[in-house]
């Protein structure tokens, strides 16, 4: 069965225009997260909602540039649709049906990515030679796409090293001990959607793992918290 790197959706404006939305490209995600960080210091839900609306407006730069202002956005979408936009755009899950305050819902979706060495990850992917500069790379890739590309590159690099070692009669994977127990590997496999059992791999740093690592809010690395009941 084919697997998906990320979820996508269509939203409709009040004028019945279909808009296709995907996780934000890194270029726009930076501004999205910058505004989203301000939700933490919002004095009330009204202020938090205003900031989330601004996040959705930033997302429109990628999805539908005709919508330029928050007034344009509010004239085009109802609040549940705006919440859907920020969910797909950056993995921020807010529901009108929840009894939790909007600010709390948004904040609990993750933290920031301050501790994520994005420059290092981008540098590794940039070596593929596909993009002329980092601006083009960030305009081309969302975080899920960056993670998937990085994962594939690392797998290919490892296969090449294993092949070259095998020619010399060496099994580089033999007796390999990464110091992780079965529980850690199982958690890594779960949070990465089965793509890795290495708890130190970036693809395992999603959802709760991402939050503990000091990043994860937005980035398109959404997850479903199975410990919470839908209210």
Nearest CA to 23 out of 129, 153, 138, 155 is that of: 138
Q: What pLDDT, in 10s, does the model give residues 155-190?
A: 888 888 888 888 888 887 776 655 555 545 655 655
Mean pLDDT of 9-23: 95
With a cut of 80, say whether residue 96 has pLDDT above it. Answer: yes
List the single range of 8-22, 50-64, 81-95, 213-227 with lowest mean pLDDT. Answer: 213-227
Is there a contact between 69 and 77 (Cβ–Cβ < 8 Å)? no
With a cut of 50, say whether residue 224 has pLDDT above it. Answer: no
Mean pLDDT of 90-95: 91
Is there a contact between 49 and 62 (Cβ–Cβ < 8 Å)? no
Task: Domain ranges for the chain, please list them.
Answer: 9-108, 118-213
Q: What pLDDT, in 10s, does the model give residues 21-52?
A: 999 999 999 999 899 989 989 999 999 999 99
Residue whose pair of structure tokens reads 């960030």 in the numeric block: 138
With a cut of 90, say whether residue 197 has pLDDT above it. Answer: no
Nearest CA to 188 out of 178, 167, 173, 203 is that of: 203
pTM: 0.71
């Amino acid at each position: 069965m084919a697997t998906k790197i990320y979820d996508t959706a269509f939203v409709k404006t009040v004028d019945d225009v279909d808009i296709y939305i995907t996780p934000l490209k890194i270029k726009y995600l930076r501004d999205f997260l910058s505004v989203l960080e301000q939700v933490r210091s919002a004095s009330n839900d009204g202020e938090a909602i205003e900031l989330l609306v601004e996040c959705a407006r930033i997302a429109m730069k990628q999805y539908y540039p005709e919508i330029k202002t928050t007034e344009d956005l509010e004239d085009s979408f109802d609040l549940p649709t705006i919440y859907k936009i920020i969910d797909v755009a950056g993995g921020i899950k807010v529901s009108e049906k929840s009894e939790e305050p909007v600010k709390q819902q948004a904040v609990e979706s993750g933290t920031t990515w301050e501790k994520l060495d994005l420059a290092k990850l981008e540098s590794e992917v940039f070596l593929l030679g596909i993009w002329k500069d980092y601006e083009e790379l960030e305009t081309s890739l969302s975080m899920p796409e960056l993670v998937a590309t990085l994962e594939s590159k690392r797998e290919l690099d490892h296969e090449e090293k294993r092949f070259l070692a095998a020619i010399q009669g060496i099994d580089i994977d033999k007796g390999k001990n990464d110091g992780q127990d079965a529980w850690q590997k199982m958690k890594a496999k779960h949070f990465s959607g089965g793509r890795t059992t290495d708890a130190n791999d970036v693809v395992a740093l999603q959802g709760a793992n991402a939050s503990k690592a000091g990043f994860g809010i937005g980035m398109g690395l959404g997850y479903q918290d199975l410990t919470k009941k839908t209210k």
